[in-house]
Amino acid sequence: MATLAIGAVVGRATEAIEGVPVAKFASTEMADDPKKIVVLGCTGSIGDTCFKVLENLGNGYEIVGLAGGSKVEKLIARAHCWKPQKICVIDTEARERVQSAVPQVEVVCGAEGLCELATMPEADLVLNGLVGAVGLAPTLAALAQGKTVAMANKEPLVMAGGLILQQAERGGGTVLPLDSEPNAIWQCLKGEDRKSLKRIILTASGGPFWGRNREQMRDITPEQAIEHPTWKMGAKISVDSATLMNKGFEVIEAAWLFGLAVEQVDVVVHRQSVVHALVEFADGSLLAHMGKTDMMLPIQYALTHPERREVPLDNLDLKQVGQLSFAAPDRANFPCLDLCYEAGRSGGTFP
């Protein structure tokens, strides 16, 4: 499926999987030269967590662009707080509201506006927290300009992973995995020989309906579907997680990012959500990434890599966790997972 190893995407290394180019983001001590960031999807759950991370990190970061959707008042509040140079909104009506509230800032709108933000000359990093296919065009535009794109928006990688990798290669851009599972894989693979990677194992919580059969799921409601047992997420990804569709997306995403066939990406149900991903090497050794279920961790790692900084979260207490369990996914009652495998194997426009 994928012909480019992660070295061509995350860090552009050849023999080892090392992550972001050290010359560019080697240190977070950047008070005199702050890292300039564009946040796409600044009013969603990823945006909320991103700003919690930035508040925790303090100096060294500057927001130069913000893009938001229907939550206009929240976008205006973010603009007043972070003082970006440019803002993108969903339509002309929202543009008028935002421009009136923050007249000193340039306000653009729509898909073209997203691409304008993603290619701002000032931007060092574009954080893509958008939902759905709308994130593809700004991702390609940013990579064409040699930008670093931190991707929480997995749908573009699912539907057009090959195009994204090619654009990163041609334009000199870098893709950083921001989603918890691929971010965990990235950390496990740091410093490892690419040739020794045998397979990836993604963990799934099973969602709120794990253990139910189809008959028992006939009367479930959208409100029940968004009640994820371990993660606090937006509505769409919560519903996708409840059906295992999101895990299928992550299979395709991981295959592209790490240069594997979809058959080399396995899924196990892990109800505790403590292990976020595992990697298996040629000698049968397994490395697992474990941590709290909070998106602050992968987002902060992407921003501060290769350094690690303290996060205002309680430490993971394995004694309190007690035990870790793993089980095969229920493919009969959650068919979306196999549909994603089939689409990933077929390639082309199937995903």
Q: Give the pLDDT of residue 93.
A: 95
CA dist., res. 63 & res. 82, Å (int): 6
Q: Hey, CA dihedral for 122, 125, 18, 156, is it positive or negative?
A: negative
Domains of the chain (ranges; CATH) run 6-177 (3.40.50.720), 185-297+312-346 (no CATH)
Q: Work out the burial of residue 93: count CB atoms within 10 Å of its CB; fewer than 13 is exposed, 13-18 middle, 19 or more buried.
A: exposed
Give which of 342, 214, 306, 320 is closest to 272, Cα–Cα: 320
The per-residue pLDDT for 226 is 82
Interacting residues of 47 by C-beta distance below 8 A, sequence separation 6+: 39, 41, 68, 78, 129
* pLDDT given at position 274: 96
Distance of CA 340 to the CA centre of its chain: 18
Q: Please state, in angstroms and rounded to a whole number, the distance separating the CA atoms of residues 66 and 54.
A: 14
pLDDT (tens, 9 = 90+) of the chain, 351 residues, equals 433 334 444 443 333 333 333 223 233 344 468 999 999 999 999 999 999 999 999 999 999 999 999 999 999 999 999 999 999 999 999 999 999 999 999 999 999 999 999 999 999 999 999 999 999 999 999 999 999 999 999 999 999 999 999 999 999 999 999 999 999 999 999 999 989 999 999 999 987 888 788 888 888 888 888 876 676 677 878 888 888 999 999 999 999 999 999 999 999 999 999 999 999 999 999 999 999 999 999 999 999 999 999 999 999 999 999 999 999 999 999 999 999 999 999 998 898
Tell me the C-alpha distance between 228 and 240, whole Å: 10
Give pLDDT, residue 231: 65
Torsion sign across C-alpha atoms 67, 72, 74, 79? positive
Output the pLDDT for position 1. 45
Strands 106-109 and 125-128: unpaired
Q: Are 244 and 261 in contact (CB under 8 A)?
A: no
Between CA 343 and CA 351 the distance in angstroms is 5
Distance, CA of 45 to CA of 68 (rounded, Å):
11
Pairing verdict, β 275-281 and 286-290: antiparallel
CA distance linking residue 12 with residue 215, whole number of Å: 49
Tokens standing for residue 231: 């993660």
What Å distances lie between residue 267 and 21, 164, 209, 240, 332, CA to CA? 30, 24, 17, 15, 15
Rounded Cα gap, residues 208 and 339, in angstroms: 20
